[in-house]
A = this chain, B = another copy of it.
Amino acid sequence: MKYYYINGKIIEVRHANIHVTDLAFLRGYGIFDFFKILSGKPLFIDKHINRFINSGKILGIELSLSITQLKEQIHKLLNANKSSNASVQMFLTGGYSIDGFTPTNPNFIILENKLSVNDPLLYLNGINLIKLKYQREMPEAKTTNYSNAIKMIKKMKQKNALDILYYNDKFITETARSNFFIIDHKDVIYTSIDNVLKGITRQKIIQLAKNYYNIKEKNITIEDLKKAKEAFITSTTKGIMPVVNVENDIIGKGVPGVITIHLMQLFKKFIKDYLRNR
């Protein structure tokens, strides 16, 4: 892409700078959200905007724009870049801070990047996860705090894993960048409910699956996972992706399960219809 957006201005990517006194930079005090553009249409943009504003509320960062104004600003960038497929990230930070600690006027930044296409083999063969005992500090907010995930990149590479499954004292919660689902031997689908980011794709999958399966939001234990027949993750960038291995524990037969594949097909069709009807 040629342009990013910073506080009302369309700026060439190479000049898209922020001052070093920004509180997301100095103090990790920032939130973000992102959505896809497919065939020129932003996917579930209202839901992403709502979550973005809600993340801000949790951290105490308030966007001074109304939702209508926010959308106008997003479209300003989309119009400048003229790309029909893209990934759009919105950031809201504590602003440029004089004392390096106290928030000021928030900085609002939008990045539009090329849509990264996931290797089809990942969907065909399923992926590996590694595990980490870790609970995100503000689970319901999409904050910029990813240090613990980035620390694990080396281990992910070693284990040929694509994501990190987080668990706390009691439950498996989510992965570093996705929501987590399992399917038991009675074909019941479960996804964690507490201490997780409520994903937009997660919500869509719950709605779609309801027509065919028994699906429940419920906290998942390590034992549940060990007995699971199928597992998958969901996220904006990945859609549904089958999980076949969690740190050397093989899930089911070690290949994507039939229900997961069915849900992948349902979701694909849902997106197609969504795009056709906009």
Contact = CB atoms under 8 A, between A and B. Distances in A.
Contact of A20 (B18, B27, B148): B18
Contacts of A137: 134, 137, 145, 147-148
Interface in A141-180: 143-151, 153-154
A151 B19 contact: no
Interface string A27-42: 1111010000000000
Given A17-B19, A60-B151, A27 B109 contact: no
Contacts of A89: 100
A20 B17 contact: yes
A103 B150 contact: yes
A147 B28 contact: yes
A111 B28 contact: no
Given A18-B17, A60-B151, A146 B4 contact: no
A147 B59 contact: yes
Nearest to A176: B101
A99 B22 CA distance: 21
Contacts of A18: 17-18, 20, 25
A185 B243 CA distance: 58
Nearest to A5: B20
A256 interface: no
Contacts of A79: none
Contacts of A16: 19-20
A183 interface: no
A30 B32 CA distance: 17
Contacts of A148: 137-138
A113 B98 CA distance: 10
Given A19-B16, A25-B24, A89-B100, A143 B147 contact: yes
5 contacts: A4-B20, A24-B28, A25-B30, A27-B144, A28-B146
B101 A146 contact: yes
Interface in A86-127: 89, 91, 93-94, 99-103, 109, 111, 113, 116
A144 B28 contact: yes
A80 interface: no
A102 B157 CA distance: 12
A271 interface: no
A23 B150 contact: yes
